[in-house]
């Protein structure tokens, strides 16, 4: 299942890995560009191990305790979902490019719990692009990340990251 995403769907196909790996500068990304990938399902142990380290709540730590809550069973920490949905985008796009950080996350929605064993289908789409008004060597790329499990939305995240411009960067 692909995330139901945008009006661009019919017009612009997701980029393949060869195209993605050629993205280096601000100039190389355009509005409507998108990439898709899947995130493998988690085991109970992976959920519990992460929660014990970062988000120790009973419905992330213990199957029996989770069954007593409205979740009904063990669910992944929303922060774990966030990180594991982000990581492939970082690996495929950011780390090969002149991306130099982000001022924050504009919106993060946990739309339903991520249960053990569910593979996530993720799409990240460029939704905005603007040059810095102060510095010619950089610009801002806005993206939306949407993750689904079995056709139902699990997570949606919007943020902006900074990329250097080819034109404004002296060390080419």
Binding site for its own copies (CB under 8 A): 53-59, 69-71, 78-79, 82-84, 86-87, 90-91, 94-95, 99-110, 113
CA distances from 55 to 78, 112, 118 (A): 9, 17, 20
Q: What is the DSSP letter of 169?
A: -
Give the pairing of strands 152-164 and 138-149: antiparallel
Q: What angle do CA 23, 28, 34 make, to 5 degrees?
A: 75
Q: Give the integer Cα–Cα distance in Å for 108 and 158.
A: 7
Cβ closer to its own copies: 103 or 117? Answer: 103
Backbone angles phi, psi at 96, to 5 degrees: -95, -5
Closer CB to its own copies, 57 or 150, in the complex: 57
Query: Given the complex with its own copies, which of 65 and 119 has the nearer CB atom?
Result: 65
**What is each CA distance from 58 to 53, 69, 117, in whole angstroms?**
13, 9, 19
For residue 112, the minimal CB distance to its own copies (Å) is 10
Q: In the complex with its own copies, which residue's Cβ is closer, 5 or 156?
A: 156
Tell me how far, at minimum, the Cβ of 94 lies from its own copies, in Å. 6
CB of residue 79 to its own copies, shortest distance in Å: 6
- List the beta strands (DSSP E) in the chain: 34-39, 104-110, 120-131, 138-149, 152-164
In whole angstroms, the minimum distance from the beta carbon of 95 to its own copies comes to 5
Q: How far is the CB of 158 from its own copies (least distance, A)?
A: 11
């Amino acid at each position: 299942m692909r995330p139901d995403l945008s009006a661009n769907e019919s017009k612009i196909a997701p980029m393949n890995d060869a195209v993605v790996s050629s993205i280096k500068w601000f100039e190389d990304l355009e509005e409507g560009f998108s990439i898709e990938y899947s995130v493998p399902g988690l085991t109970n142990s992976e959920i519990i191990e992460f929660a014990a380290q970062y988000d120790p709540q009973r419905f992330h730590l213990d199957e029996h305790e989770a069954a007593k809550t409205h979740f009904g069973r063990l669910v992944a920490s929303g922060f774990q979902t966030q990180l594991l949905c982000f990581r492939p985008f970082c690996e495929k796009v950011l780390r090969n490019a002149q991306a130099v950080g982000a001022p924050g996350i504009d919106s993060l929605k946990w739309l339903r719990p991520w249960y053990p064993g569910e593979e996530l289908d993720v799409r990240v789409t460029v939704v905005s692009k603007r040059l810095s008004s102060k510095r010619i060597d950089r610009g801002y790329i806005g993206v939306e990340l949407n993750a689904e499990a079995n056709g139902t939305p699990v997570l949606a995240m919007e943020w902006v990251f900074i990329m250097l411009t080819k034109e404004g960067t002296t060390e080419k």
